[in-house]
């Protein structure tokens, strides 16, 4: 099956620093990647939708200047948490969606293993 990786798997940083999280589709090209955030004992919340070569679309309430998303290639999207604060501590998950065709259907998404961010 299709594999999505994330790096790092966990990160601890000081308040005010920036953290970059990478999401890679390893064996397919992802025209669309999604970034989610999950707080303890809560469900996943979509932060933004990232399309290769265009600006990301952010969900209501998500600050685009704080959560910078770059989908530079069909296999890589990055999320940078700028000037991180303790309230940004969360589990960040990406998913990647290949184009339909080749046996794959629309709406198919493959999830990364997640990155746990702790801001001190």
Partner 1 sequence: KNEVEQSPQNLTAQEGEFITINCSYSVGISALHWLQQHPGGGIVSLFMLSSGKKKHGRLIATINIQEKHSSLHITASHPRDSAVYICAVGYNFGNEKLTFGTGTRLTIIP
Told to check if 32 binds partner 1 by CB under 8 A, we report yes
Closest CA to 117 of 6, 43, 25: 6
Rounded Cα distance, 63 and 68, in Å: 9
Contacts with partner 1 by CB under 8 A: the residue count is 23
Show the binding pattern over residues 81-100: x = contacts partner 1 (CB under 8 A), - = does not. ----------x-x---x---
Least Å distance between CB 84 and partner 1? 19
Asked if 65 contacts 81 with a C-beta cutoff of 8 angstroms, the reply is no
Per-residue binder mask for partner 1 (CB under 8 A), 36-65, x = binder: --x---xxxxx--x----------------
52: left (phi over 0), alpha (psi -120 to 50) or beta: beta
Note the maximum CA span of the chain: 45
User: Which one of 24, 25, 34, 81 is in contact with partner 1 (CB under 8 A)?
Assistant: 34
Nearest residue (CB) to partner 1, 3 versus 83: 3
How far is Cα 32 from Cα 26, in angstroms, rounded to an integer? 14
Q: Which residues bind partner 1 (CB under 8 A)?
A: 32, 34, 38, 42-46, 49, 91, 93, 97, 105-114, 116
């Amino acid at each position: 099956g299709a594999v999505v990786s994330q790096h790092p798997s966990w990160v601890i940083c000081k308040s005010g620093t920036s953290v970059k999280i990478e999401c890679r589709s390893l064996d397919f090209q992802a025209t669309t990647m999604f970034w989610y955030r999950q707080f303890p004992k809560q469900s996943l919340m979509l932060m933004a939708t990232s399309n290769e070569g265009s600006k990301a679309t952010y969900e209501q309430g998500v600050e685009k200047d704080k959560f910078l998303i770059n989908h530079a290639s069909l296999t890589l999207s990055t999320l940078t948490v700028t000037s991180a604060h303790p309230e940004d501590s969360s589990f960040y998950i990406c998913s990647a969606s290949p184009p339909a065709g080749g046996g794959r259907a629309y709406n198919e998404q493959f999830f990364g293993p997640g990155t746990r961010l702790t801001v001190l």
